Amino acid sequence: MAGTDKDEGTRPEKRVGDEDPFATPESARRADRRLRGRLLAPVTVWTAATGEDRAGLTVSSLVVAEGEPAQLFALVDPLSELHRLAAESGRVLVHVLGAGEEKVAAFFAGRYPVDPFEELAFEPDEYGPRLAGERTTVRARFASSEPAGFQNLLRATVDSVLLATGGEDPLAWYRGGFRRLSS
């Protein structure tokens, strides 16, 4: 999706030949997926590591539960490397992406045939690989995981929140594409 109008938060005009020949016809699409697509979601990248193994995943199903301590909930593929390493290491880093980081999100969503850890800069952190640069980041401990629909509901306990000082607009996921919000 990088380099398209979708990256700019607008919908391109439909032209002949733009239809995906492999897309599920609208009449056959599941109502739950269509509902989720109509809800605005934050775009985050979760990372975890054990020894030399590291994994990351774009997650747009984040819920923050306030409390002492605060908790994070996210829907994650139970077969993903991120899920495995988070459970093994007991820790995760959650990076809140801002406007202009569509390519970072796409790397960790598997939209490019590259290793995001080779393409992007990282800083060491005891909770896992930390994306270089200033952004809001959460250090959390893996608490549990249980089946929820086709995914697993991953629960993590917040240890610390590193808030970005800039007023960067967040990156959001809406109706099948990345969107930039403006204040």
- 63-120: per-residue pLDDT in tens? 999 999 999 999 999 999 999 999 999 999 999 999 899 999 999 999 999 999 999 9
The whole-angstrom separation of Cα 119 and Cα 46 is 16
The helix (H) or strand (E) run that includes residue 31 is helix 31-37
Per-residue model confidence as pLDDT tens digits over 115-142: 999 999 999 999 999 999 989 999 999 9
Distance of alpha carbon 55 from alpha carbon 85, whole angstroms:
7
pTM of the shown model: 0.81
Domains plus CATH for the chain?
44-175 (2.30.110.10)
| Positive or negative torsion for Cα 75, 163, 71, 49 | positive
Say which amino acid occupies 23. A
